[in-house]
Amino acid sequence: MKMLHTNLHEIETAEELKKMQAEHPNLMVCGGRMGPMCIPVYDIMEELQEEREDIKFAVMAFDNPEAGIIRNDPSCKGFMGLPFTMYYKNGKAVSATSSIQNRQQITKILDEKF
């Protein structure tokens, strides 16, 4: 049951996220809603998905109970604004951001971490 209407893969369960972490050495996951702070991040991810084949891009509905795997991650402690964006390298969280990010901010993390 898709909650977010994007052209990105939507993760529906915590188990699926763990599986993706194991299968994709470079993974960016954005946990959010269809709101004004989240949609610009999804749009950037959709653009980057075409350019960066070495990275898997995915989204997860923030209000899905299964998204607790992102909401409760120690990297997100103290985060206030949506979306919560996680960057995983070889299954481990290597960076996390909160709130709206622009393309430059996102690509800086991708370049540094992946």
For the stretch 1-18, what's the b/e string if a residue is b when 16 or more beta carbons lie within 10 angstroms of its beta carbon? Answer: eeebebebebbbebebbe
Q: Give 27's strand partners.
A: 56, 88
- Asked if residue 98 lies in contact with residue 57, where contact means CB atoms within 8 angstroms, the answer is no
Tens of each residue's pLDDT in the chain, 114 residues: 678 889 999 999 999 999 999 999 999 999 999 999 999 999 999 999 999 999 999 999 999 999 999 999 999 999 999 999 999 999 999 999 999 999 999 999 999 999
CA neighbor of 27 nearest in space, from 71, 112, 87, 104: 87
Domains and CATH numbers, the chain: 9-113 (3.40.30.10)
